[in-house]
Amino acid sequence: MSRPDDSGKIRLIQGNEACAEGAVAAGCRFYAGYPITPSSEIAEVLAYRLPAVDGTFIQMEDEIASLGAVIGASLAGAKAMTATSGPGFSLMQEHIGFACMAEVPCVIVNVMRGGPSTGLPTSPAQGDVQQARWGTHGDHPIIALSPWSVLECATLTVEAFNLSEKYRTPVILLMDEIVGHMRENVILPRPDELEVYNRVRPKVPPEWYEPYEDTPFGVPPMAAFGEGYRYHVTGLFHDLHGFPTLREDEIEPLLNRMFRKIWTNLGEIQKVETFALEDAETAVIAYGSAARAAKRAVLEARAAGRKVGLLRLVTIWPFCRRAVESILGRCRKLIVAEMNLGQISREVKRVVQGRAEVATVSRVLGRLIRPDEILSVIEKG
């Protein structure tokens, strides 16, 4: 079991453990969850680690209650998270919507396994990508990140907390069974090497505080319960003070601000990684563990003299439209490799609009896509 003083040393750990370590390093002090494979190790590590840093681990009666408790903890001022997999992620959708609407920072880790329903316990898939975007009802923006390595499970967990605190929004970490259970040698960053962002607290006296103020940045400062700022939090459409409203001059501005705070900061939120793309005529687009197979396929294609590169999506939502557009000029063919039946390739096609050929390696096999399965599509043209 990991120790707090282990950062900075080489350790052989799995992605789920790294995610838990990242959470502690990011300042997470509350975890509520319900056991589900392949995410349970995150809960197990945090059950061990959080009480030692005066944090709280609680195993709730289901995933709905888990995210409810996480939101309550965040409203009380703590950084809080939960982790689950497909079936539990379905149950959490209700409270993901609440966290969007009430603008409560929190991190939801989904270590994806095959679905629908109980699906494949517990073989890998990336089938929850569109659910992460549209799973909860109503229009809402969402941020989702996807790590491809054990180290990134830690660093993107920190990033997920930073984005959630900065934009007062739930952030979803879309891991998959492979990165969750894979073990790699990593050197976890020391706490002083990490950039950790904490939510902005109100500086005005309580009588001036508007908890849902329309600030230029779009994100109102957030007071914690019990600090003198007595305000109302609800999942109903609300006015600047948080009180329920049915007025059209308050409904639309609220929704617009919820989108604006994310959409005007895409430059900071959206992250991609490129590999051998400079002169590439064909680009493979992939994310999570499938990107590892894609990178191998690119290396083998390069060895055979083909001009192929990799665009790895680190941010899944909001979709990295600009990154795809930037390679459209020189890449005539885009190959989207993912462990679902085309959940990101449809986004790519929407951006490409016929300006390049979009091929897919969309497989749900209960295992990782093999490099040769991607390579054969590269070689087709």
Partner 1 sequence: MKPGHHLIYQYLRHEKKFPHVWCPGCGNGVVLGSLIRTIHKLQYSKDEIVLVSGIGCAGRMTAYVDFNTLHTTHGRALAFATGIKLVKPHLKVIVVMGDGDATAIGGNHLIHAARRNVNLTAIIINNHIYGMTGGQFSPTTPYGLRASTAPHGHVEHAFNISKLVEAAGGSFVARGTVYHVNLLDRLMEKAIPKTGFAVVEIMSTCPTHFNKLNLLGTAVDSLTWMKEHAAPVEKAKEMKPEELRGKFRIGVLIDQDIPDYQAEYHQVRERAKAAGAYRLDPQEISRILESNQCY
- Residue 333 binds partner 1 (CB under 8 A): no
**Neighbouring C-alpha atoms within 13 Å toward the C-beta of 141:** 24
Our CB check for partner 1 shows the closer of 66 and 162 to be 66
- Residue 29 binds partner 1 (CB under 8 A): yes
- Residue 240 binds partner 1 (CB under 8 A): no
In contact, 57 and 31? CB cutoff 8 Å: yes
Q: What are phi and psi of 38, to 5 degrees?
A: -100, 35
The single residue among 34, 98, 161, 287 that binds partner 1, judged by CB under 8 A, is: 98
> In whole angstroms, how close is the CB of 10 to partner 1 at the nearest point?
22
User: For partner 1, what does the binding mask look like between residues 43 and 62, x meaning CB under 8 A?
Assistant: -----xxxxx-x-x-x-xxx
User: Does the N-terminal peptide bond of residue 157 adopt cis geometry, omega within 30 degrees of 0?
Assistant: no
- Residue 230 binds partner 1 (CB under 8 A): yes
Cα gap 291→297, rounded to integer Å = 10
**Neighbouring C-alpha atoms within 13 Å toward the C-beta of 41:** 19
Cα gap 129→112, rounded to integer Å = 9
Our CB check for partner 1 shows the closer of 124 and 242 to be 242
Our CB check for partner 1 shows the closer of 78 and 324 to be 78
- Residue 363 binds partner 1 (CB under 8 A): no
Give the residue carrying structure tokens 């308050």.
Answer: 250
Structure tokens at 83: 């982790």
User: For partner 1, what does the binding mask look like between residues 296 and 325, x meaning CB under 8 A?
Assistant: ------------------------------
In contact, 111 and 87? CB cutoff 8 Å: no
- Residue 234 binds partner 1 (CB under 8 A): yes
The single residue among 32, 142, 158, 314 that binds partner 1, judged by CB under 8 A, is: 32
The single residue among 30, 148, 212, 275 that binds partner 1, judged by CB under 8 A, is: 30
Buried b (16+ CB within 10 A) or exposed e, 308-341: bbbbbbbbbbbbbeebbeebeebbebbbbbbbbe
- Residue 232 binds partner 1 (CB under 8 A): yes
The single residue among 239, 261, 290, 362 that binds partner 1, judged by CB under 8 A, is: 239
Our CB check for partner 1 shows the closer of 103 and 347 to be 103
- For 117, other C-beta atoms within 10 Å of its C-beta total 9
Residues 70-89 that bind partner 1 (CB under 8 A): 70-78, 80
- For 32, other C-beta atoms within 10 Å of its C-beta total 25
257 burial level (CB within 10 Å; 0-12, 13-18, 19+): middle
Our CB check for partner 1 shows the closer of 169 and 343 to be 169
> In whole angstroms, how close is the CB of 7 to partner 1 at the nearest point?
17
The single residue among 6, 90, 91, 224 that binds partner 1, judged by CB under 8 A, is: 224
Stretch that binds partner 1, among 183-191, 218-226, 271-279, 313-321 (CB under 8 A): 218-226
Element (H, E) at 31: strand 28-33
State how beta strands 79-84 and 106-114 pair: parallel
- Residue 352 binds partner 1 (CB under 8 A): no
- Residue 128 binds partner 1 (CB under 8 A): no
Question: How long a stretch of residues is the chain?
Answer: 381
Structure tokens at 148: 């491809």
**Residues in touch with partner 1 (CB under 8 A):** 29-30, 32, 48-52, 54, 56, 58, 60-62, 64-66, 68-78, 80, 94-95, 98, 224-228, 230-236, 239, 241, 243-244
